[in-house]
Structure 1
Amino acid sequence: MKKVTIDDIAEAAGVSIKTVSRVFNHEPNVREITRDKVLAAAKDMRYRPNVAARGLASNKSFVIIHFHDNPNSDYLERVHQGIHKCCRAAGYFAVMEPFQTPGPDCTLSYAEQAKDYLVEFPIDGVILSPPLCDNVDLISVLREHNIPYVRLSPAHNPASSSCTYVDDQAAAHMMTEHLIAQGHCKIAFISGPENHGSSVARRTGFLAALTDAGLNTEACPILHGDFSSRSGFKECETLLKSSSYVTAIFAANDDMAVGVMMAALKAGLDIPGELAIAGYDGSRVGNIVWPPLTTIRQPVHGLAERAAELLLAHIRTPGLEFTQEKLPVQLLVRGTSTP
């Protein structure tokens, strides 16, 4: 069977080869009716662009990379799905690249890891998720290499780049208000890593809600996890063995909240009768556990997809003005906070 070429598409659509190329490269200034004719012809003929040939002709890799350092597999899967959906429609590859947290097990900084990657692999743009999206040195490396980037949920200086985000502080405030409305005045909070701006913002929202309600913040302990269910279990177990008494625990993500549930059940506590529990993210695990987890659902897929759309716009139009887009969250009240 003869391989379909852009010459065949041009002939079928009644346009020039150059016009077909501009449509496949998503270049501007192509009339919508013309673009539709070309795409329809390509679909009818089952044409698949040769990415390698496109790269040679345009000096592009057609690769978008997502740099991340996050242990939450559910979050990463939803991020990748959002990026992939946008990139596939635009003829780009979406690649996930994990970075290691600098420390005893990794002597390289985030910036050094980025330099090593950029030397080895050609890419057209980068999406940065927490905590990498707030790392100044890493961002400086991307700027030095003239790599367009968009940040996902930055905690600092959102106007310094295009980004998509939710208001973590306001969302945590809303969740804390819900727990207070259920009659809880002694609530513990389990934060995530300090280098994750979202964790800090959620803790800030929690404390602000306590203050706004006139509650004693010293009766509401702050515990420190790492976004893993193991850390949620450990912190809850330690709290239950201490002299501190709480009737509710708000964890900064769903994985830690599930760990809290496991520790509470191990201790023989009734959920939510003796201990109410809340999480944050709206991940699938919150639907699997029993009782179902009360949580804040953030639109991770939508945040990632929109971030990819903004990045592609910057790739196609260098010098484009930065855009910051906030998406709404949803409070999901379920069985771990109400009978």
Structure 2
Amino acid sequence: MSVTINDVAKHAGVSMKTVSRVINNEPSVREATQEKVMASVKALNYKPNNSARSLAGTRSYTIGFIYDNPNAYYVIDMQNGILSECKDRNYELLIHPCNHKSDKLEEELHSLIEHSRIAGVVLTPPFSEMPNVGKMFEQMQLPYVRVISANDKKKQSSSCIFVNDYEAAYDITQHLISLGHTKIGFLCGGKEHNSSTERLQGFQSALKDSGLKTNAKFVIDGEYSFESGVLGAQKLLKNKYRPTAIFASNDEMAAGALFAARLGGFSIPGDISIVGFEDSPFSRQTWPKLTTAHQPNQLIAQQAAQLLIARIQRQAECETEETAIKNFRPELVIRDSTGPVPACE
């Protein structure tokens, strides 16, 4: 027969309520009591049933991950990061993809929360950057944590994970400039993402600080996809006056740009340098491998889940809400897709 919470309580010589508080990492439990309970949990090999816990009381032990992102690698990394924290804290994870452009988005999310008894949600772009979504959850008194692209100097009113795309894009552009590139194309991601704006602004600031101007004809609007990278690079490379380097807003676009460059007869990095962003598997599956910015998505997701569970527990204990902000700055990773500007330029 499976071990129950009552078995653990008897083994540890405490009440079931005390066992529950320890398992849920709730405050106000003495360290000695925590150690005794956890020793019993280990000795009996007790595995909490999160569904049963939720049904047995008023609290839910399920958090949601709501997303709309075409990049499968990003979604998988986020899922794995959140799941790792859920396992450590004895929570379940409900994963729900939906269309951020849907006219019935708020109705869909409201129904999801009510029927699934979710205790809180992790929001990633573009949902984390949509004020109406956050406002709806606040009205429902549902804790949430946002993963957003923003300069860490910006102030936010609720728990956030900042990804400083601006400074990372600045670093990538400075790397290209240091190699002698002054004609640099930029492939933009989807405009509904703050990351697209932040990365473009970082690119433009690096050019300006080096005494260079942004060539509007070298900035191509697109989406975060391989196909968009192909089309964008073809636009940049079809004319005689072309850039000597291309900065694509993510690795998938950069892989598409590299593909287009090869189709056009260009060598990389001999004729043109190409960089991406995020350090996803795309950056290591191309030849040559892509220079990029490493964005630790699993760690970002894990910390988002950590913040969320802390908010849920503070709400359950009727404690004062605290604004928590954590920052990540993607770091430059130099690989073989970038080299000195061609001698003929």
**TM-score band, normalised by shorter chain:** over 0.9
Amino acid at match of 2:328: L
Question: What per-residue deviation string (whole Å, max 9, x for no partner) do you get for residues 209-240 of structure 1?
Answer: 11111112127611112100111011111222
Task: Go from structure 1 to structure 2 and tell me whether the alpha carbon gap of 1:167 and 1:64 turns closer, same or farther (over 3 Å shift).
Answer: same
In the alignment, is the contact (CA less than 8 A) between 2:149 and 2:163 conserved in 1?
Answer: no
Amino acid at match of 2:17: K
Q: Tell me what 2:141 maps to.
A: 146
Amino acid at match of 2:77: R
Within 2, Cα distance between the matches of 1:177 and 1:219?
A: 19
* Cα deviation, residue 56, structure 1: 2.6
Q: Does 1:24 align with 2:23?
A: yes
In the alignment, is the contact (CA less than 8 A) between 2:149 and 2:165 conserved in 1?
Answer: no
Q: Does 1:36 align with 2:35?
A: yes
In the alignment, is the contact (CA less than 8 A) between 2:279 and 2:292 conserved in 1?
Answer: yes
Within 1, Cα distance between the matches of 2:127 and 2:76?
A: 17
* CA RMSD, Structure 1 to Structure 2 (Å): 1.7
In the alignment, is the contact (CA less than 8 A) between 1:189 and 1:220 conserved in 2?
Answer: no
Amino acid at match of 1:139: G
Q: Tell me what 2:343 maps to.
A: none
- Structure 1 outlier segments of 4+, above 3 Å: 154-158
Q: Tell me what 1:232 maps to.
A: 229
Q: Tell me what 1:114 maps to.
A: 109
Within 2, Cα distance between the matches of 1:190 and 1:32?
A: 54
* Cα deviation, residue 32, structure 1: 2.4
Runs of 5+ consecutive residues of structure 2 not aligned to the other structure: 341-345
Q: Tell me what 1:72 maps to.
A: 71
Question: What per-residue deviation string (whole Å, max 9, x for no partner) do you get for residues 308-327 of structure 1?
Answer: 11110110002421111112
TM-score under structure 1 normalisation? 0.94
Structure 1 residues 194-203 or 215-224, which shifts more?
A: 215-224
Q: Tell me what 2:123 maps to.
A: 128
Q: Tell me what 2:45 maps to.
A: 46
Amino acid at match of 2:6: D
Q: Indicate which of 208, 211, 214 corresponds to 1:211.
A: 208
Amino acid at match of 2:111: D
Q: Tell me what 1:261 maps to.
A: 258
User: Secondary structure, in 3 states, of the residue corresponding to 1:64?
Assistant: strand
Identity %: 40
Q: Does 1:329 align with 2:330?
A: yes
Question: What per-residue deviation string (whole Å, max 9, x for no partner) do you get for residues 53-108 of structure 1?
Answer: 31133312311111111111111111111111111111111122112141xxx443
Within 2, Cα distance between the matches of 1:183 and 1:219?
A: 20
In the alignment, is the contact (CA less than 8 A) between 1:276 and 1:336 conserved in 2?
Answer: yes
Paired residue total: 334
* Cα deviation, residue 158, structure 1: 4.7
TM-score under structure 2 normalisation? 0.92
Question: What per-residue deviation string (whole Å, max 9, x for no partner) do you get for residues 171-192 of structure 1?
Answer: 1001000000011000001111
Question: What per-residue deviation string (whole Å, max 9, x for no partner) do you get for residues 99-133 of structure 1?
Answer: 2141xxx443x433322322432200011111111
